[in-house]
């Protein structure tokens, strides 16, 4: 496993979901959501290195959240609402990463998949962990005493950023 930092960023507030899948996909950030994304984007800008990969769900609310960071954005259909953890891992090319020389990946996605991915990477099995709207969980890989580990470096909600 290469040392890597994976920042899981749940899209910011976009109002309540709807049972109409097409309408739900098109939801955009609310005013509150835009403010959340801006706060967290500023927090990340102060901590990320110059080189990182920014990858997001194609849903407008995820792309709008990612835009607050200001980097070059890639969207990936494997991160769309309803995707599962295997889809997220494939989009990330975990644990190698999407690019050989990139150590930092920012992934903007959706619940419940982000929480399930965090639980898999940190605890070894999928569980329904909750990540607040607009929050980031910063995970790092490392090797200790010959064992590969994933550790939580930070979990920041928008109101604390």
Question: Residue ranges of the domains in the chain?
Answer: 5-160
136 vs 154: CA distance, rounded Å: 8
pLDDT digits (tens, 9 = 90+) for 117-143: 999 999 999 999 999 999 999 999 888
155 vs 150: CA distance, rounded Å: 14
| pLDDT of 94 strictly over 90 | no
Q: What is the pLDDT of residue 147?
A: 85
Q: What is the pLDDT of residue 2?
A: 63
84 vs 78: CA distance, rounded Å: 8
Q: Residue 25 in contact with residue 53, Cβ under 8 Å?
A: no
Q: What is the pLDDT of residue 93?
A: 86
| pLDDT of 32 strictly over 60 | yes
Going by pLDDT thresholds of 50, 70 and 90, the confidence category of residue 101 is: low
| pLDDT of 10 strictly over 90 | yes
- The predicted model gives 65-70 an average pLDDT of 96
Q: What is the pLDDT of residue 30?
A: 97
- The predicted model gives 90-115 an average pLDDT of 86
Going by pLDDT thresholds of 50, 70 and 90, the confidence category of residue 116 is: very high
Question: Any idea what the Cα angle at residue 5 is, between residues 142 and 161, rounded to 5°?
Answer: 125
Q: What is the pLDDT of residue 68?
A: 97
Just give the CATH number of 5-160.
3.40.50.1240
CA dist 124 → 11, 118, 148, 150 (Å): 24, 9, 12, 10
Name which residue leads in pLDDT, 22 or 109. Answer: 109
Q: What is the pLDDT of residue 71?
A: 85
| pLDDT of 1 strictly over 70 | no
Q: What is the mean pLDDT of the chain?
A: 93
């Amino acid at each position: 496993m290469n040392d890597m930092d994976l920042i899981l960023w749940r899209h910011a507030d976009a109002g309540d979901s709807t049972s109409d899948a097409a309408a739900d996909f098109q939801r955009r950030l609310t005013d509150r959501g835009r403010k959340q994304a801006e706060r967290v984007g500023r927090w990340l800008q102060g901590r990320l290195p110059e080189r990182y990969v920014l990858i997001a769900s194609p849903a407008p609310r995820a792309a709008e959240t990612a835009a607050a960071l200001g980097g070059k954005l890639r969207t990936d259909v494997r991160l769309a609402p309803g995707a599962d953890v295997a889809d997220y891992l494939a989009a990330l090319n975990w644990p190698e990463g999407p690019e050989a020389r990139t150590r930092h990946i920012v992934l903007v996605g959706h619940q419940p998949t982000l929480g399930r991915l965090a639980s898999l990477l940190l605890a070894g099995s999928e569980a329904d962990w909750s990540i607040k709207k607009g929050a980031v969980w910063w995970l790092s890989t490392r090797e200790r005493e010959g064992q590969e580990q994933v550790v939580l470096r930070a979990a920041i909600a928008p109101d604390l950023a």
